[in-house]
Amino acid sequence: METKFDFEDENLEKNLKKNASGLFKGILIFIKSIFSFYKDVDKNATINSIKNDISMRGTTAWILVCSILIASVGLNADSIPVVIGAMLISPLLGPILGLGLSISINDIDTLKTSIINTLVMVVLSIGAAYIFFLVIPIKEESSELLARTNPDVRDVLIAFFGGLALIIAKTKKENISSAIFGVAIATALMPPLCTVGYYLAEGDFSKAQGAILLFLINTLYIIVATYLTLKVLRFPLIVYANSRKRRFIANAIALIAISSFIFAGYKFRGVIKKSTFETEARNFLNSELSMLSNGDYLSKSAKVEYNDGESKITINTFGQKPISKDIMDLLNKKIKTNQELESTKLLFIQQEIEDSYTLNNTFLKELRSRDSIDIALKKNEIENLNKEINQLRFLSEEKFLFSSIINEAKLIYPNLNSFEIYETIRTDFQKTDTVVVVSVSWSDIINDNNKLQLNQSIKNWIGLKFESKNIEIVEKN
C-alpha cells in the first residue's frame, strides 16, 4: 500500500508539472502572437517605399518649403494647431529613414543619396525660415520657439520611440498612414529648423546652435531606431561582386553606425546630466527659499543654466525685499554639500542692502551654525517677540512701582498735595548723569524748615527705592 501511494504521488507531480509547462507555453504563444509582426513585413516593398520618399526635388521640395513657412507663421503666432498642421504635410522623414535603411543593409548608393537629400532638406528648411523671419515685421520669441532651443531627455525618448513606430508602420504590407502622421507630429523635426532660421535672422547664433542640436538629436535617434528594427527583422544586406569594394563598404557603414551610436550615447548622457541638474537645482531652490517671505517668487523666477562644469543658478529679487549677505553665504555653503550642484555658481541680482536693514537683522549672524533658513527665521521672530514682552514687562514694573510709591507717600506724608517722579539726563559738558527728579508740593500749613526736613526725608526714601544716589527734590510753588 505504501509503494502504491508513493507511485500515485509521483504521477500527480508529473501531471502538475506538465500542465504548468503547457500553460506557460500557451501564455508565451499568446503574447508572441500579439507582438510579433514578422508575418506583416514586406521587405522589398518597405525598401522601395523608403527609397521613393528620399528625394527632395520638384514637388517634394515645394511642399517642404510651404510646410516650413506655415510652421514659421505658427511659431511666430505661438499657435500650436498651425504648427501641427505644417508637420502633417512635411516630407522631412523621407531622407532620414533613407539614412537608417542604407546603414542597416550596407547600401552605399542609398546612403549617398540620403545624405545629399538630407542636406538639401536642412538648407531649404532653414533658408525658407530665415527669409520669412528676416522679412516679417513681427518678431517675438514665443514659448514654442524657446522650447526648441534646449533639448532634454524627453526629446530623445520621443525621437527614439517615434522612429520605432515609424519604421514598424513602414514595414507593414500596407503602410499605416495615420501612424506616419503621428510620428511626424511627435518627433517635431520641423519646429527646430524653423527656430534655427528665426535666431539666424535675429543674429543669435547661440540659440540657433541649440535648435540645430535638437534637430540632430531627433534625427539621430530616428536613424538608430530604424537601424535596430531593420536588423531585428533581418533585412537582406546588399551584396557587391567586388570583394574589396564589399569589405570597404561594410567597414565604412560599420564605422558610420558605430560613430552614430557613440554620438547618440554621448548626447543622451549629456541630456540626462542636464535633466538631473535642473531637477536638483529646482529642489534646492524650493527647499532653501521656501521659508523666506518672498521665497516662492524667488524660487520660481530663478534662472537655472546647465553647462557641464560651469553651471549656474541666478536668483533675482526684481526690486523686492533683498536677501541679506548672511543668507547668501549660507546658501553658497549649503549648495556645496549637494553632490549634483557642488560645482554650480550661485549668483544674486538685487538692490544694495541698506546698513540699517542688516543691523536690524543681527540674528542672521548665527545662521552659519544652523541647518536651515527656517530655524533662523523662527529664531528671529522669537527674539522680536521677547523684546516686545520685555518692554511691556519693564513698563508694567515701572507702573507698578510708581503706584506702590504713591500709596506709601500718602501714608508717610499726609501733607503732600502733589507728587511726581521722572528721570532726566544732565551734563556739565565734562560728564553726563541720569538723575531721578522728585517734584513735590506741600500743604500751606507746613513751614519752610519742616519742608526742608521733609524734602530730605523723601530724597533718602526714594534713593532706597530706586537704589540711586542721584536724587533731586524739586518743590513746586
pLDDT (tens digit, 9 = 90+) per residue, 252-268?
Answer: 766 766 776 677 677 67
Query: 436 near 472, Cβ under 8 Å?
Result: yes
Confidence of residue 14 (pLDDT cuts 50, 70, 90): low
Query: What does the alpha-carbon distance between residue 55 and residue 90 come to, in Å, rounded to a whole number?
Result: 13
Residues 6+ apart with CB under 8 A from 84: 185
Please tell me whether residues 339 and 466 are part of one structural domain: no
Query: What does the alpha-carbon distance between residue 57 and residue 192 come to, in Å, rounded to a whole number?
Result: 22
Residue among 5, 66, 38, 41 at smallest CA distance from 170:
41
- Tell me, what's the pLDDT at 117? 92
Distances (CA, A) of 11 to 14, 20, 383: 5, 14, 83
How does the average pLDDT of the chain come out, rounded? Answer: 75
CATH number at residue 198: 1.20.1080
Residue 422 lies in a domain: yes
Residue type, 141: E
Looking at 368, 383, 398, the residue that finishes a domain is 383
H/E element, 422:
strand 416-427
Please tell me whether residues 284 and 363 are part of one structural domain: yes
pLDDT: which is higher, 78 or 129: 129
Average pLDDT for 235-263: 70
pLDDT: which is higher, 274 or 359: 274
Residue 402 lies in a domain: no
Looking at 238, 265, 296, the residue that finishes a domain is 238
Question: Residues 410-428: pLDDT tens digits?
Answer: 788 888 888 888 778 877 7
Residue 441 lies in a domain: yes
Over 50: is that where the pLDDT of 462 sits?
yes
Over 70: is that where the pLDDT of 332 sits?
yes
- Tell me, what's the pLDDT at 464? 79
Question: Residues 371-408: pLDDT tens digits?
Answer: 556 666 677 778 877 777 766 565 555 566 677 777 78
Q: Is 346 helix (H, G, I), strand (E, B) or coil?
A: strand
Residue 30 lies in a domain: no
**Which of 14-23, 83-92, 308-317 has the lowest average pLDDT?**
14-23
Please report where in the chains the cell 507698578 appears, as a residue.
400
Which residue range(s) make up the domain with 190? Answer: 38-238
**Parallel, antiparallel, or unpaired: how do β-strands 416-427 and 303-305 relate?**
unpaired
Residue type, 42: D
Average pLDDT for 216-236: 84
Query: 148 near 155, Cβ under 8 Å?
Result: no
Please tell me whether residues 330 and 452 are part of one structural domain: no
Query: What does the alpha-carbon distance between residue 317 and residue 193 come to, in Å, rounded to a whole number?
Result: 35
Please tell me whether residues 66 and 184 are part of one structural domain: yes
- Tell me, what's the pLDDT at 364? 46
Please tell me whether residues 82 and 217 are part of one structural domain: yes
| Sheet hosting strand 432-442, strand order edge to edge | 416-427, 432-442, 471-475
Please tell me whether residues 283 and 358 are part of one structural domain: yes
Residue 203 lies in a domain: yes
Query: 260 near 67, Cβ under 8 Å?
Result: no
Take residue 312 and report the three cell numbers written for it.
549656474
Query: What does the alpha-carbon distance between residue 145 and residue 169 come to, in Å, rounded to a whole number?
Result: 30
Question: Residues 168-197: pLDDT tens digits?
Answer: 878 876 655 555 555 555 556 778 888 888
Please tell me whether residues 377 and 421 are part of one structural domain: no
- Tell me, what's the pLDDT at 384? 75
- Tell me, what's the pLDDT at 146? 56
Query: 187 near 218, Cβ under 8 Å?
Result: yes
Ramachandran region of residue 468, left (φ > 0), alpha (ψ -120 to 50) or beta?
beta
Take residue 9 and report the three cell numbers written for it.
504521488
Over 80: is that where the pLDDT of 28 sits?
no
Average pLDDT for 88-94: 81
Please tell me whether residues 167 and 304 are part of one structural domain: no
Q: How many domains does the chain have?
A: 3
Please tell me whether residues 44 and 158 are part of one structural domain: yes
Please tell me whether residues 375 and 452 are part of one structural domain: no
Question: Measured on CA atoms in the order 393, 396, 402, 406, is the torsion positive or negative?
Answer: negative
Residue 75 lies in a domain: yes
Distances (CA, A) of 73 to 80, 103, 124, 139, 150: 10, 36, 16, 11, 21
Phi, psi of 434 (to 5 degrees): -100, 125
Output Rg (C-alpha) for the chain, integer angstroms.
43
Over 50: is that where the pLDDT of 363 sits?
no
Query: What does the alpha-carbon distance between residue 323 and residue 352 come to, in Å, rounded to a whole number?
Result: 9
Take residue 280 and report the three cell numbers written for it.
536638483
Distances (CA, A) of 421 to 202, 401, 466: 79, 11, 11
Please tell me whether residues 225 and 97 are part of one structural domain: yes
- Tell me, what's the pLDDT at 128? 92
H/E element, 416:
strand 416-427
Residue 406 lies in a domain: no
Residue among 212, 195, 185 at smallest CA distance from 90:
185
Take residue 152 and report the three cell numbers written for it.
532634454
Query: What does the alpha-carbon distance between residue 423 and residue 186 come to, in Å, rounded to a whole number?
Result: 82
- Tell me, what's the pLDDT at 5? 45
Query: What does the alpha-carbon distance between residue 446 and residue 347 come to, in Å, rounded to a whole number?
Result: 79
Question: Residues 116-150: pLDDT tens digits?
Answer: 999 999 999 999 999 988 887 655 655 555 555 56
Average pLDDT for 344-363: 59
Query: What does the alpha-carbon distance between residue 357 and residue 368 come to, in Å, rounded to a whole number?
Result: 19
Query: What does the alpha-carbon distance between residue 137 and residue 127 come to, in Å, rounded to a whole number?
Result: 17
Over 80: is that where the pLDDT of 282 sits?
yes
Residue 423's beta-bridge partner residues? 436
Residue type, 96: I
Over 60: is that where the pLDDT of 250 sits?
yes
Question: Residues 312-326: pLDDT tens digits?
Answer: 888 887 767 777 787
Looking at 238, 258, 286, the residue that finishes a domain is 238
Phi, psi of 347 (to 5 degrees): -110, 145
| Sheet hosting strand 303-305, strand order edge to edge | 303-305, 312-316, 345-349
Residue 6 lies in a domain: no
Over 70: is that where the pLDDT of 231 sits?
yes
Confidence of residue 367 (pLDDT cuts 50, 70, 90): very low
Please tell me whether residues 89 and 231 are part of one structural domain: yes
- Tell me, what's the pLDDT at 127? 93
